[in-house]
Chains A and B, each alone.
Chain A
Amino acid sequence: MARKEYSFYPGCSSRKGASASNYRVSVETMCEELDVQLNDIPDWNCCGASIGYAAGGELPRLALSARNMALSEQAHPDQDIVATCAACWLSTRGTRDRLLEDGDLMQETNQALAAAGLKVEAKQKVRHMVEVLIEDFGYEDLGNRVKKPLNGVRIAGYVGCQTNRPFGIDGESFENPVYLDKLVETLGAESVPRYEKKVQCCGGALAFSEPEKSQALIKEILEAAYDHDAHMIVTPCPVCQMNVEIYQGHINQQYGTKFQMPVVYYSTLISVAYGRSAKASGLNGQVVRAKQLERIADQ
């Protein structure tokens, strides 16, 4: 099959030395195995995430994403834009929808972009990496490439919010999306289809500003995974991954729990199942180590 190319929007957290740098490592490995070429949008900027709204008004926030789309149109006009971060995808896709449905907004946004000599048409589709996996490859194809099935690993699929709502993946239900469960099974692992906290919010950016309120939500997400005897949690979102993984120590102190639950990316699972090393799969980026995956990778 011919190599697939996408116009890639990496986002702030995936940079070297940033909180989701391990996500980037595993995505690159996964893409090598799938013969996918990711072409970075030149000089991309932050999307404003879900917390840019206090100081940034609607048009400035649309302009952030519009600048990325404009740069992408110049550099890779025939490729879909693909993001790995939930917030990057949501902001960019939301901006595209708004610009295409509202001619005034399109005109105002272009007026703003003109301040740096740019122009946007918003023609390119904006997709999340899991859409690429499901739509451009499909579960069967993804499964055929498995070299080391993740036998005996029980994994709760934590979809979270922003890859699920408001746009959703593959037309699935907002209340009970199953794509992570299907992916987990495709890789030979065991899914937790009744994981009741799969779409619960982790607090998002409020994990920083309202830690107690957010950690109460995160506790429920972890607890439900333990209730189903899950060995680890998998997620498609960098903020979900970080929030659910790194505050377990604080939650244990606060609630007297003994949580020690690895939280990995889908791309980590895929890289390991495709036979790549622990390092190439980003496993050395786990604050809570995923030892079962390390063992499979080291076999």
Chain B
Amino acid sequence: MTMSEAAARSYRGNFLKEVEANVEEGDWVKMCMQCGVCSGSCPLGPYWDYPPHEIFMMIRANKRDEVLGSSSMWMCTSCYNCVVRCPRGLPITHIMHGLAHYADRLDIAPADQPTRKFAKMFWKNLTRTGRVNELRLGLALYFMNGMGEGLKTSIKMKDVGLGMVKTKRMNPVEMMGGRGCEDAEGLRAILDKAREIELAKAEKFQA
């Protein structure tokens, strides 16, 4: 049984309950009244397989695999347009982040989704030293689909990169590691503990 199947089983196939227990701000999902203002307000609206208001109804209709396996939530740019316009005050951006995180945690999010890949690189990058190393992050991004595509992207991005180096907004020396937090170790200990608490809480909700 996969991690995802095990999670589904412990909620006896009730996906709404599963979302409420595991997804950031998930207990707001049932408040959606299907007006569609969120979907009409999204800057990347046309690219969602299922726009936000459909996602909310699909959760209630138990469309678990369709929701968690879709690339929809990964289209969120965190612009908060939907949040300020929602007549019911749903924290939609946070719910989308929460759904994306949960789908990633269960490893049923689409493997090739570029924002998923980039977002994971970002987290890895920031937790290494406590601060983002932009140069390393950029290069990791270019090469995320292998060497061939990476070189092509690097050539395409050459002028953008040169512009940033010339204006001292990118520093090639950062490749050597760069300066991070002095207590990066303490920060990682905090993050590990936070993750442990969060998972234990979801576990408790299940039981």
**Contact B197 A59, beta carbon cutoff 8 Å:** yes
Chain B residues lying within 8 Å of A205, measured Cβ to Cβ, are: 77-78, 115, 118-119, 122
**Contact A161 B81, beta carbon cutoff 8 Å:** yes
Minimum CB distance partner of A207 in chain B: B77
**Contact A111 B193, beta carbon cutoff 8 Å:** yes
24 contacts between A and B (CB under 8 A): A13-B132, A17-B169, A43-B181, A45-B181, A50-B77, A56-B101, A59-B194, A59-B197, A64-B191, A108-B197, A108-B198, A111-B193, A115-B189, A115-B190, A161-B80, A165-B83, A204-B77, A208-B141, A210-B44, A210-B75, A246-B160, A246-B163, A285-B167, A287-B166
**Contact B190 A287, beta carbon cutoff 8 Å:** no
Q: A45-B131, A204-B78 are in contact. Are A52 and B119 (CB under 8 A)?
A: yes
Chain A residues lying within 8 Å of B117, measured Cβ to Cβ, are: 209
- Interface contacts (Cβ under 8 Å), in number, total 212
Chain A residues lying within 8 Å of B182, measured Cβ to Cβ, are: 43
Partner of B43, one of A118, A174, A200: A200
**Contact B198 A51, beta carbon cutoff 8 Å:** no
**Contact A60 B77, beta carbon cutoff 8 Å:** no
Q: Does A113 contact B (CB under 8 A)?
A: yes
Shortest Cβ distance from residue B133 to the other chain A in the assembled complex, whole angstroms: 8
**Contact B186 A209, beta carbon cutoff 8 Å:** no
Task: Report the separation of the CA atoms of residues A68 and B193 in the bound assembly, to the nearest whole angstrom.
Answer: 16
Shortest Cβ distance from residue B203 to the other chain A in the assembled complex, whole angstroms: 13
**Contact B160 A250, beta carbon cutoff 8 Å:** yes
Q: Does B47 contact A (CB under 8 A)?
A: yes
- From A46, A53, A117, A285, name the one whose CB has the most chain B CB atoms within 10 angstroms: A53
Chain B residues lying within 8 Å of A166, measured Cβ to Cβ, are: 80, 83-84, 93
**Contact A51 B119, beta carbon cutoff 8 Å:** yes
Chain B residues lying within 8 Å of A209, measured Cβ to Cβ, are: 114-115, 117-119, 141
Chain B residues lying within 8 Å of A108, measured Cβ to Cβ, are: 194, 197-198, 201
Per the 8 Å Cβ criterion, residues 51-90 of B in contact with A are 75, 77-81, 83-85
**Contact B187 A116, beta carbon cutoff 8 Å:** yes
Binding site for A on B (CB under 8 A): 24, 43-44, 47, 75, 77-81, 83-85, 93, 97-98, 100-101, 104-105, 114-120, 122-124, 126, 130-132, 134, 138, 141, 156, 159-160, 163-164, 166-171, 173-174, 179, 181-183, 186-187, 189-195, 197-198, 201
Binding site for B on A (CB under 8 A): 12-13, 15-22, 43-46, 48-60, 62-64, 67, 108-109, 111-118, 161-162, 165-166, 174, 200-201, 203-206, 208-210, 213-214, 217, 246-247, 249-250, 284-287
Main DSSP-derived SS at the A contact region: loop
**Contact B100 A54, beta carbon cutoff 8 Å:** yes
Task: Report the separation of the CA atoms of residues A16 and B159 in the bound assembly, to the nearest whole angstrom.
Answer: 21
Identify the 7 closest CB pairs spanning chains A and B, nearest first: A17-B171, A116-B186, A54-B119, A50-B78, A165-B80, A55-B123, A201-B79
**Contact A57 B174, beta carbon cutoff 8 Å:** no
- From A16, A55, A114, A217, name the one whose CB has the most chain B CB atoms within 10 angstroms: A55
**Contact A46 B116, beta carbon cutoff 8 Å:** no
Shortest Cβ distance from residue B159 to the other chain A in the assembled complex, whole angstroms: 6
Task: Report the separation of the CA atoms of residues A17 and B165 in the bound assembly, to the nearest whole angstrom.
Answer: 8
Q: A63-B191, A201-B81, A206-B44 are in contact. Are A18 and B169 (CB under 8 A)?
A: yes
Task: Report the separation of the CA atoms of residues A42 and B26 in the bound assembly, to the nearest whole angstrom.
Answer: 35
Task: Report the separation of the CA atoms of residues A29 and B138 in the bound assembly, to the nearest whole angstrom.
Answer: 29
